[in-house]
Amino acid sequence: MENVNLIDTFSEFKELKNIDRPTMMSVLEDVFRSMLQKRYGSADNFDIIVNIDKGDFEIWRNRVVVEDGEITDPITQIPLSKAKEIDEDYEVGEDVSDEVKFLDFGRRAILSLRQNLTARILDLEKNNIYIKYKDRIGEIVTGEVYQVWKREILVLDDDGNELILPKSEQIPSDHFRKGDSIRAVVIKVEMRNNTPFIILSRTSPVFLERLFELEVPEIFDGLITIKKIVRVPGERAKVAVESYDERIDPVGACVGMKGSRIHGIVRELRNENIDVINFTSNNQLFIQRALSPAKITSIKLIEESKRAQIYLKPDEVSLAIGKGGLNIKLASQLTGYEIDVYREPGGEDEEDVNLEEFSDEIESWIIDELKAIGCDTARSVLNLTINDLVKRTDLEEETVREVVNILKAEFE
């Protein structure tokens, strides 16, 4: 009966955890040998026969027959009188094999063996999960939300394995409830206290890249390559693409007819605004494309410091900077150039005043902060909201309000 219980325990794991037959045989034999080693001091002269299909096993002990009273090693030798109890035909020097009954080990030993077996199989399963997901880093997985906590979400995959989606890897507008289906990319797999931790992400640029591969066959087939992705999750992203086939328009292929391909990606990313840009090795042209939809009048590159001075018409400045400064920030990350925005001198802003003219009222370091974001005149500062100015500079809100009041007073 104990044999059946033991094998049943193992069979449950075989069905649930999908452990292959050779591994099962090896684990069972190791566990039995460990038990025999503890009981007899050695397991070298034992044969263990496991029949997984029938759900049973046998343990046979091999010993050499010696004359009574001449035993030097009771583990490997058996006296002639004992051998004849097994079979009358045994003689001195012959090998004797007798079956060791599992029930003779006692209930405590049997319980210990079952616990050891269960622990070994669980460890094996954990290792299998670790290896499986270690090879899937960078892949999209689909799972079901099982538990929602303040700092993370517990997700179960199709096999019931636990995956973690931390709050920091969720799009700010993500809102999941138990039972929801969720897609994310595997970004990290590690062992903590002998337990595999699979970390997912929906904010990683890799997630956006994999979504493009799913939606755009030309990217999956290698006809179009994604050169670089930068994003502020849930807000805006810029994707630089290049085609290896002159007949294929990479931007058009990624967007699809009437936006059919990109709409699915935008929905998955909670309406994240995605700009698809044609990659080029011409830095000036690449910067110009990255700052779209703003139309640039001229560009001056300073290669030593990797800076780009952009000159635009006054009404194009806000387009180049974008809401909350996102457009210029992402364009800078995409191109690798620190971008400074300048208004073209003259034109419709003749009544404007250069910020340097306020140096007696505004400290020079504050003026430098404003110029660093492309605001070199009074009106260019006043054209932005106080919130935008606070977000894009390192200035306190109180300081920004003081500056705005000084500039307004000039025109009043």
Based on the domain organization, do 7 and 88 belong to the same domain?
A: yes
CB 328 within 8 A of CB 341: yes
Based on the domain organization, do 29 and 124 belong to the same domain?
A: yes
302-321 residue pLDDT tens: 989 999 999 988 878 888 98
> Of 175, 203, 231, which residue constitutes the final position of a domain?
203
Whether residue 93 has pLDDT greater than 90: no
Based on the domain organization, do 9 and 126 belong to the same domain?
A: yes
196-224 residue pLDDT tens: 999 999 999 999 999 999 999 999 999 99
User: Cα 355 from chain centroid?
Assistant: 47
Kindly state the percentage of the chain with pLDDT values over 90.
43
Please tell me the predicted confidence (pLDDT) of residue 56.
Answer: 65
Residue 333 domain-assigned (yes or no): no
Residue 180 domain-assigned (yes or no): yes
- Please, what's the b/e burial string for 22-41 (b: 16 or more CB within 10 A of its CB; e: otherwise)? eebeebbeebbbebbeeebe
Question: Higher pLDDT residue, 91 or 179?
Answer: 179
Residue 107 domain-assigned (yes or no): yes
Q: Which CATH number goes with the domain that contains 128?
A: 3.30.1480
Residue 351 domain-assigned (yes or no): no
Q: Which amino acid is at 60?
A: W
Residue whose token pair is 């616990």: 115
Based on the domain organization, do 162 and 232 belong to the same domain?
A: no
The tally of domains found in the chain comes to 3
Residue 104 burial class via C-beta count within 10 angstroms: exposed 0-12, middle 13-18, buried 19 and up: exposed
100-136 residue pLDDT tens: 776 667 778 778 777 887 787 788 888 889 999 999 9
> Of 279, 295, 310, which residue constitutes the final position of a domain?
279
Instruction: Give the integer Cα–Cα distance in Å for 124 and 261.
Output: 42
Residue 392 domain-assigned (yes or no): no
Q: Which CATH number goes with the domain that contains 239?
A: 3.30.300.20
Q: What are phi and psi of 287, to 5 degrees?
A: -65, -40
Q: Give the mean pLDDT of 139-152.
A: 96
Residue 43 domain-assigned (yes or no): yes
Residue 11 CA: distances (Å) to CA of 16, 125, 358, 370 = 9, 14, 82, 70
For 127, the domain range is 2-132
Question: Higher pLDDT residue, 87 or 213?
Answer: 213
User: Of 226, 191, 233, 230, nearest to 210 (Cα)?
Assistant: 226
Predicted TM-score (pTM) of the model is 0.68
Based on the domain organization, do 85 and 40 belong to the same domain?
A: yes
